[in-house]
Amino acid sequence: MTPYLSSPKPDDNPSPLPATVLIVDDLPENLEVLGELLQPLYRVRGAHSGVRALAVARSQPVPDLILLDVMMPGMDGYAVFDALRADPLTRDIPVIFVTALDGVEAEERGFELGAVDYITKPIRPSIVLARVRNQLELKRARDRLRDQNLFLEAEIARRMSENLLIQDVSIRALARLAEIRDQETGNHVRRTQAYVAVLARRLATDPRHAAVLTPEHIDLIVKSAPLHDIGKVGIPDHILLKAGKLTADEWVIMKSHSRLGCEAIHNAEEDAERPVPFLAYAKEIALYHHERWDGSGYPEGLAGETIPLSARLMALADVFDALVSRRVYKAAVALETARDMICAEGARHFDPAVVEAFVAEFVRFADIATRYRDEENR
Protein backbone atom coordinates (compact mmCIF):
# COMPACT_ATOMS: atom_id res chain seq x y z
CA MET A 1 0.00 0.00 0.00
CA THR A 2 1.32 3.45 -0.88
CA PRO A 3 1.65 5.97 1.95
CA TYR A 4 -0.69 8.36 0.16
CA LEU A 5 -4.31 7.50 -0.50
CA SER A 6 -4.79 10.86 -2.13
CA SER A 7 -2.94 14.07 -2.79
CA PRO A 8 -4.15 17.54 -3.76
CA LYS A 9 -4.44 18.33 -7.47
CA PRO A 10 -2.36 21.11 -9.02
CA ASP A 11 -4.06 24.48 -9.04
CA ASP A 12 -3.28 27.59 -11.08
CA ASN A 13 -3.96 29.64 -7.93
CA PRO A 14 -2.51 27.53 -5.13
CA SER A 15 -4.01 28.02 -1.66
CA PRO A 16 -2.48 26.93 1.62
CA LEU A 17 -1.83 23.20 1.68
CA PRO A 18 -4.68 21.15 3.13
CA ALA A 19 -4.17 19.40 6.43
CA THR A 20 -2.62 15.95 6.34
CA VAL A 21 -4.57 13.09 7.93
CA LEU A 22 -2.98 9.69 8.56
CA ILE A 23 -5.39 6.71 8.66
CA VAL A 24 -4.11 3.57 10.37
CA ASP A 25 -6.06 0.30 9.93
CA ASP A 26 -5.01 -3.25 9.16
CA LEU A 27 -8.02 -3.81 6.84
CA PRO A 28 -7.64 -2.33 3.34
CA GLU A 29 -11.38 -1.81 2.99
CA ASN A 30 -11.47 0.39 6.09
CA LEU A 31 -8.58 2.45 4.76
CA GLU A 32 -10.45 2.81 1.49
CA VAL A 33 -13.71 3.91 3.10
CA LEU A 34 -12.10 6.56 5.31
CA GLY A 35 -9.80 7.66 2.50
CA GLU A 36 -12.65 8.26 0.07
CA LEU A 37 -14.54 10.18 2.76
CA LEU A 38 -11.65 12.51 3.67
CA GLN A 39 -9.68 12.94 0.46
CA PRO A 40 -11.89 15.66 -1.07
CA LEU A 41 -10.96 17.91 1.87
CA TYR A 42 -7.57 16.73 3.13
CA ARG A 43 -4.30 15.20 2.08
CA VAL A 44 -4.74 11.59 3.20
CA ARG A 45 -2.02 9.08 4.03
CA GLY A 46 -2.53 5.46 4.98
CA ALA A 47 -0.77 2.73 6.94
CA HIS A 48 -1.88 -0.90 7.35
CA SER A 49 0.13 -1.70 10.51
CA GLY A 50 1.43 -0.10 13.67
CA VAL A 51 5.04 -0.27 12.54
CA ARG A 52 4.19 1.31 9.19
CA ALA A 53 2.12 3.98 10.94
CA LEU A 54 5.10 5.09 13.03
CA ALA A 55 7.31 5.30 9.94
CA VAL A 56 4.74 7.38 8.04
CA ALA A 57 4.09 9.63 11.05
CA ARG A 58 7.81 10.45 11.25
CA SER A 59 8.14 11.28 7.55
CA GLN A 60 7.23 14.47 5.73
CA PRO A 61 4.66 15.85 5.70
CA VAL A 62 4.13 15.06 9.38
CA PRO A 63 0.41 14.37 9.89
CA ASP A 64 -1.78 17.03 11.44
CA LEU A 65 -4.17 14.32 12.73
CA ILE A 66 -4.10 10.53 13.04
CA LEU A 67 -7.14 8.23 12.88
CA LEU A 68 -5.83 5.15 14.67
CA ASP A 69 -7.50 1.74 14.72
CA VAL A 70 -7.27 0.05 18.10
CA MET A 71 -7.62 -3.64 17.23
CA MET A 72 -4.69 -4.53 14.98
CA PRO A 73 -2.51 -7.66 14.95
CA GLY A 74 1.02 -7.38 16.29
CA MET A 75 1.26 -3.78 17.43
CA ASP A 76 -2.21 -2.59 18.48
CA GLY A 77 -3.41 0.99 18.54
CA TYR A 78 -2.57 1.54 22.19
CA ALA A 79 1.05 0.48 21.61
CA VAL A 80 1.25 2.74 18.55
CA PHE A 81 -0.12 5.62 20.59
CA ASP A 82 2.52 5.08 23.31
CA ALA A 83 5.28 5.07 20.68
CA LEU A 84 3.94 8.27 19.11
CA ARG A 85 3.96 10.02 22.48
CA ALA A 86 7.51 8.86 23.21
CA ASP A 87 8.87 10.51 20.05
CA PRO A 88 9.42 14.32 20.19
CA LEU A 89 8.59 14.55 16.47
CA THR A 90 5.16 12.95 16.86
CA ARG A 91 4.18 13.46 20.49
CA ASP A 92 1.99 16.49 19.76
CA ILE A 93 0.01 15.00 16.86
CA PRO A 94 -3.64 14.66 17.94
CA VAL A 95 -4.97 11.11 17.72
CA ILE A 96 -8.56 9.92 17.30
CA PHE A 97 -9.06 6.26 18.16
CA VAL A 98 -11.25 4.33 15.72
CA THR A 99 -12.53 0.94 16.87
CA ALA A 100 -15.31 -1.62 16.70
CA LEU A 101 -15.16 -1.90 20.48
CA ASP A 102 -18.37 -0.36 21.70
CA GLY A 103 -17.96 0.07 25.42
CA VAL A 104 -17.42 2.75 28.00
CA GLU A 105 -14.25 1.11 29.34
CA ALA A 106 -12.54 1.12 25.94
CA GLU A 107 -13.50 4.74 25.39
CA GLU A 108 -12.30 5.74 28.86
CA ARG A 109 -8.98 4.02 28.29
CA GLY A 110 -8.48 5.94 25.05
CA PHE A 111 -9.10 9.28 26.73
CA GLU A 112 -6.92 8.36 29.71
CA LEU A 113 -4.04 7.67 27.35
CA GLY A 114 -4.46 11.11 25.80
CA ALA A 115 -6.53 10.61 22.65
CA VAL A 116 -8.46 13.70 21.60
CA ASP A 117 -11.55 11.78 20.45
CA TYR A 118 -13.03 8.33 19.94
CA ILE A 119 -14.99 7.03 16.92
CA THR A 120 -16.76 3.67 16.85
CA LYS A 121 -17.31 1.44 13.84
CA PRO A 122 -19.28 1.24 11.69
CA ILE A 123 -18.43 4.85 11.03
CA ARG A 124 -21.00 7.53 10.30
CA PRO A 125 -19.58 9.88 7.65
CA SER A 126 -21.08 13.11 9.02
CA ILE A 127 -19.75 12.41 12.52
CA VAL A 128 -16.30 11.50 11.22
CA LEU A 129 -16.09 14.66 9.12
CA ALA A 130 -17.29 16.84 11.98
CA ARG A 131 -14.85 15.39 14.48
CA VAL A 132 -11.93 15.51 12.08
CA ARG A 133 -12.73 19.13 11.23
CA ASN A 134 -13.06 20.10 14.89
CA GLN A 135 -9.77 18.52 15.87
CA LEU A 136 -7.92 20.09 12.96
CA GLU A 137 -9.32 23.50 13.84
CA LEU A 138 -8.21 23.00 17.44
CA LYS A 139 -4.74 22.01 16.25
CA ARG A 140 -4.48 25.09 14.03
CA ALA A 141 -5.49 27.24 16.99
CA ARG A 142 -2.87 25.56 19.21
CA ASP A 143 -0.23 25.99 16.52
CA ARG A 144 -1.06 29.68 16.13
CA LEU A 145 -0.88 30.14 19.90
CA ARG A 146 2.43 28.28 20.03
CA ASP A 147 3.86 30.43 17.23
CA GLN A 148 2.65 33.58 18.95
CA ASN A 149 4.21 32.43 22.22
CA LEU A 150 7.50 31.65 20.48
CA PHE A 151 7.44 35.09 18.86
CA LEU A 152 6.69 36.75 22.20
CA GLU A 153 9.45 34.77 23.93
CA ALA A 154 11.91 35.78 21.22
CA GLU A 155 10.81 39.40 21.47
CA ILE A 156 11.12 39.36 25.26
CA ALA A 157 14.57 37.80 24.99
CA ARG A 158 15.59 40.46 22.44
CA ARG A 159 14.36 43.30 24.62
CA MET A 160 15.97 41.84 27.73
CA SER A 161 19.22 41.55 25.83
CA GLU A 162 18.92 45.19 24.78
CA ASN A 163 18.13 46.24 28.35
CA LEU A 164 21.11 44.31 29.69
CA LEU A 165 23.33 45.89 27.07
CA ILE A 166 22.08 49.36 27.99
CA GLN A 167 22.63 48.52 31.65
CA ASP A 168 26.17 47.33 31.02
CA VAL A 169 26.97 50.38 28.92
CA SER A 170 25.58 52.65 31.62
CA ILE A 171 27.67 50.94 34.28
CA ARG A 172 30.77 51.28 32.12
CA ALA A 173 29.99 54.93 31.51
CA LEU A 174 29.66 55.64 35.23
CA ALA A 175 32.84 53.73 35.99
CA ARG A 176 34.59 55.59 33.19
CA LEU A 177 33.49 58.86 34.78
CA ALA A 178 35.45 57.99 37.92
CA GLU A 179 38.32 56.75 35.76
CA ILE A 180 38.53 60.06 33.90
CA ARG A 181 38.79 61.91 37.21
CA ASP A 182 41.73 59.69 38.17
CA GLN A 183 43.80 59.69 35.00
CA GLU A 184 46.20 57.02 36.23
CA THR A 185 43.76 54.13 36.43
CA GLY A 186 43.62 53.31 32.69
CA ASN A 187 42.18 49.83 32.25
CA HIS A 188 41.86 49.35 36.01
CA VAL A 189 38.10 48.84 35.82
CA ARG A 190 38.33 46.22 33.09
CA ARG A 191 41.10 44.31 34.84
CA THR A 192 39.55 44.31 38.30
CA GLN A 193 36.22 43.16 36.92
CA ALA A 194 37.98 40.25 35.21
CA TYR A 195 39.89 39.40 38.39
CA VAL A 196 36.68 39.34 40.42
CA ALA A 197 35.06 37.01 37.89
CA VAL A 198 38.01 34.60 38.09
CA LEU A 199 38.03 34.60 41.90
CA ALA A 200 34.26 34.15 42.21
CA ARG A 201 34.13 31.24 39.80
CA ARG A 202 37.02 29.55 41.56
CA LEU A 203 35.46 29.98 45.00
CA ALA A 204 32.15 28.65 43.66
CA THR A 205 33.80 25.23 43.40
CA ASP A 206 34.33 25.27 47.19
CA PRO A 207 31.33 23.81 49.10
CA ARG A 208 31.72 26.57 51.69
CA HIS A 209 30.85 29.21 49.10
CA ALA A 210 28.84 27.32 46.47
CA ALA A 211 25.47 28.24 47.98
CA VAL A 212 26.30 31.97 47.82
CA LEU A 213 28.26 32.03 44.58
CA THR A 214 25.63 30.66 42.24
CA PRO A 215 26.06 31.52 38.54
CA GLU A 216 23.34 34.16 38.89
CA HIS A 217 25.00 35.81 41.89
CA ILE A 218 28.41 35.70 40.25
CA ASP A 219 27.00 37.52 37.23
CA LEU A 220 25.56 40.21 39.49
CA ILE A 221 28.80 40.63 41.43
CA VAL A 222 30.85 40.87 38.24
CA LYS A 223 28.38 43.31 36.73
CA SER A 224 28.59 45.58 39.77
CA ALA A 225 32.39 45.43 40.17
CA PRO A 226 33.16 48.41 37.87
CA LEU A 227 31.33 50.72 40.28
CA HIS A 228 33.67 50.05 43.19
CA ASP A 229 35.39 53.45 42.96
CA ILE A 230 32.46 55.52 41.66
CA GLY A 231 32.65 57.59 44.86
CA LYS A 232 35.94 59.11 43.69
CA VAL A 233 33.82 61.45 41.60
CA GLY A 234 33.11 63.30 44.86
CA ILE A 235 36.76 63.69 45.90
CA PRO A 236 38.33 67.11 45.17
CA ASP A 237 40.98 67.15 42.42
CA HIS A 238 43.72 68.50 44.66
CA ILE A 239 43.41 65.34 46.77
CA LEU A 240 42.46 62.75 44.14
CA LEU A 241 45.21 63.82 41.71
CA LYS A 242 47.87 64.65 44.27
CA ALA A 243 51.21 63.08 43.26
CA GLY A 244 52.71 63.04 46.74
CA LYS A 245 51.68 61.51 50.05
CA LEU A 246 48.33 62.66 51.44
CA THR A 247 48.14 64.50 54.74
CA ALA A 248 46.09 62.99 57.55
CA ASP A 249 43.19 65.34 56.80
CA GLU A 250 43.41 64.64 53.07
CA TRP A 251 43.45 60.89 53.75
CA VAL A 252 40.21 61.20 55.74
CA ILE A 253 38.59 62.90 52.76
CA MET A 254 40.04 60.36 50.36
CA LYS A 255 38.64 57.47 52.37
CA SER A 256 35.17 58.99 52.17
CA HIS A 257 34.93 57.86 48.53
CA SER A 258 33.63 54.48 49.72
CA ARG A 259 30.64 56.02 51.48
CA LEU A 260 30.06 58.52 48.68
CA GLY A 261 29.91 55.67 46.17
CA CYS A 262 27.53 53.62 48.29
CA GLU A 263 25.25 56.62 48.85
CA ALA A 264 25.17 57.44 45.15
CA ILE A 265 24.20 53.88 44.27
CA HIS A 266 21.62 53.83 47.08
CA ASN A 267 20.03 57.02 45.72
CA ALA A 268 19.89 55.52 42.24
CA GLU A 269 18.31 52.38 43.72
CA GLU A 270 15.60 54.41 45.41
CA ASP A 271 14.76 56.15 42.14
CA ALA A 272 14.21 52.81 40.39
CA GLU A 273 10.62 51.62 39.92
CA ARG A 274 11.54 48.11 41.06
CA PRO A 275 14.51 46.45 42.79
CA VAL A 276 17.67 46.16 40.68
CA PRO A 277 19.50 43.11 42.07
CA PHE A 278 23.04 44.01 41.03
CA LEU A 279 22.84 47.36 42.83
CA ALA A 280 22.78 45.56 46.18
CA TYR A 281 26.18 44.08 45.36
CA ALA A 282 27.37 47.38 43.94
CA LYS A 283 26.66 49.06 47.28
CA GLU A 284 28.49 46.34 49.20
CA ILE A 285 31.53 46.56 46.98
CA ALA A 286 31.66 50.35 46.90
CA LEU A 287 31.32 50.64 50.69
CA TYR A 288 33.40 47.72 51.94
CA HIS A 289 36.15 46.94 49.43
CA HIS A 290 38.71 48.71 51.63
CA GLU A 291 37.84 46.66 54.71
CA ARG A 292 40.52 44.22 55.91
CA TRP A 293 40.17 40.67 57.15
CA ASP A 294 41.82 41.60 60.48
CA GLY A 295 39.47 44.57 61.04
CA SER A 296 42.00 47.31 60.34
CA GLY A 297 40.31 48.62 57.18
CA TYR A 298 37.72 51.31 56.55
CA PRO A 299 35.06 52.72 56.66
CA GLU A 300 33.59 50.53 59.44
CA GLY A 301 36.48 48.35 60.57
CA LEU A 302 34.65 45.13 59.75
CA ALA A 303 36.57 41.89 60.20
CA GLY A 304 36.47 38.34 58.83
CA GLU A 305 33.25 37.10 57.33
CA THR A 306 31.32 40.15 58.53
CA ILE A 307 32.79 41.75 55.41
CA PRO A 308 30.51 40.86 52.47
CA LEU A 309 32.07 38.25 50.20
CA SER A 310 31.66 40.49 47.16
CA ALA A 311 33.81 43.15 48.86
CA ARG A 312 36.41 40.57 49.92
CA LEU A 313 36.79 39.55 46.29
CA MET A 314 37.12 43.15 45.15
CA ALA A 315 39.64 43.94 47.91
CA LEU A 316 42.15 41.46 46.55
CA ALA A 317 41.47 42.34 42.92
CA ASP A 318 41.87 46.04 43.64
CA VAL A 319 45.15 45.71 45.57
CA PHE A 320 46.70 43.28 43.09
CA ASP A 321 45.95 45.66 40.24
CA ALA A 322 47.38 48.60 42.16
CA LEU A 323 50.57 46.64 42.78
CA VAL A 324 51.19 45.66 39.16
CA SER A 325 50.27 49.10 37.74
CA ARG A 326 52.52 52.16 37.61
CA ARG A 327 51.40 55.25 39.49
CA VAL A 328 52.95 58.71 39.61
CA TYR A 329 54.02 57.95 43.15
CA LYS A 330 55.32 54.39 42.54
CA ALA A 331 56.59 51.92 39.95
CA ALA A 332 54.77 48.76 38.97
CA VAL A 333 56.00 45.62 40.67
CA ALA A 334 56.53 42.31 38.86
CA LEU A 335 53.59 39.94 38.71
CA GLU A 336 55.35 37.30 40.81
CA THR A 337 56.33 39.89 43.39
CA ALA A 338 52.74 41.06 43.61
CA ARG A 339 51.64 37.45 44.08
CA ASP A 340 54.02 37.01 46.98
CA MET A 341 52.90 40.27 48.56
CA ILE A 342 49.26 39.23 48.34
CA CYS A 343 50.05 35.83 49.88
CA ALA A 344 51.89 37.51 52.75
CA GLU A 345 48.71 39.46 53.56
CA GLY A 346 46.48 36.39 53.84
CA ALA A 347 44.47 36.45 57.11
CA ARG A 348 45.57 40.08 57.66
CA HIS A 349 44.39 42.14 54.73
CA PHE A 350 42.64 39.43 52.74
CA ASP A 351 40.28 36.52 53.28
CA PRO A 352 42.52 33.39 53.31
CA ALA A 353 40.04 31.52 51.08
CA VAL A 354 40.19 34.32 48.52
CA VAL A 355 43.97 34.23 48.63
CA GLU A 356 43.88 30.47 47.99
CA ALA A 357 41.66 31.06 44.97
CA PHE A 358 44.03 33.78 43.75
CA VAL A 359 47.06 31.49 44.00
CA ALA A 360 45.21 28.73 42.15
CA GLU A 361 44.25 31.16 39.38
CA PHE A 362 47.45 33.23 39.30
CA VAL A 363 48.21 32.29 35.68
CA ARG A 364 44.86 33.74 34.64
CA PHE A 365 45.47 36.86 36.72
CA ALA A 366 48.81 37.33 34.97
CA ASP A 367 47.18 36.87 31.58
CA ILE A 368 44.52 39.50 32.37
CA ALA A 369 47.13 41.93 33.69
CA THR A 370 49.20 41.51 30.53
CA ARG A 371 46.33 41.58 28.06
CA TYR A 372 44.78 44.77 29.46
CA ARG A 373 48.00 46.46 30.48
CA ASP A 374 48.02 50.26 30.43
CA GLU A 375 50.08 51.89 27.68
CA GLU A 376 52.53 53.42 30.16
CA ASN A 377 53.25 49.95 31.54
CA ARG A 378 54.02 48.37 28.16
266 assigned to some structural domain: yes
Looking at residue 186, its pLDDT comes to 55
Cα distance from N-terminal residue to C-terminal residue, the chain: 78
Looking at residue 290, its pLDDT comes to 97
Residue 302 backbone dihedrals phi, psi, to 5 degrees: -70, 155
Q: Is the pTM of this model over 0.75?
A: no
CATH of the domain at 75: 3.40.50.2300
Average pLDDT estimate for 219-223: 93
CATH of the domain at 273: 1.10.3210.10
Average pLDDT estimate for 174-197: 76
- The count of domains in the chain is 2
Look at 62 and 172; give whichever has higher pLDDT: 62
pLDDT tens-place string over residues 143-166: 888 888 888 888 887 777 776 666
312 assigned to some structural domain: yes
231 assigned to some structural domain: yes
Looking at residue 126, its pLDDT comes to 92
Do 136 and 220 belong to one domain?
A: no
Do 68 and 195 belong to one domain?
A: no
Do 194 and 328 belong to one domain?
A: yes
- Interatomic CA distance for residues 89 and 66, integer angstroms: 14
Looking at residue 182, its pLDDT comes to 62
61 assigned to some structural domain: yes
165 assigned to some structural domain: no
167 assigned to some structural domain: no
Query: Which range is least confidently modeled, 178-182, 255-259, 260-264?
Result: 178-182
Average pLDDT estimate for 354-370: 97
Do 234 and 116 belong to one domain?
A: no
285 assigned to some structural domain: yes
155 assigned to some structural domain: no
Residue 375's pLDDT band (boundaries 50, 70, 90)?
low
pLDDT tens-place string over residues 24-75: 999 999 999 999 999 999 999 999 999 999 999 999 999 999 999 988 998 9
Do 202 and 125 belong to one domain?
A: no
Do 27 and 76 belong to one domain?
A: yes
pLDDT exceeds 60 at position 185: no
Q: In sequence order, which residues have a C-beta less than 8 Å from that of residue 338 and are 6 or more positions away? A: 320, 323, 324
Q: What is the DSSP letter of 23?
A: E
Q: Which domain holds residue 359?
A: 182-377
Which amino acid, one-letter code, is at 12?
D
Do 199 and 134 belong to one domain?
A: no
Are 138 and 117 contacting, i.e. CB atoms less than 8 angstroms apart? no
Look at 351 and 234; give whichever has higher pLDDT: 351
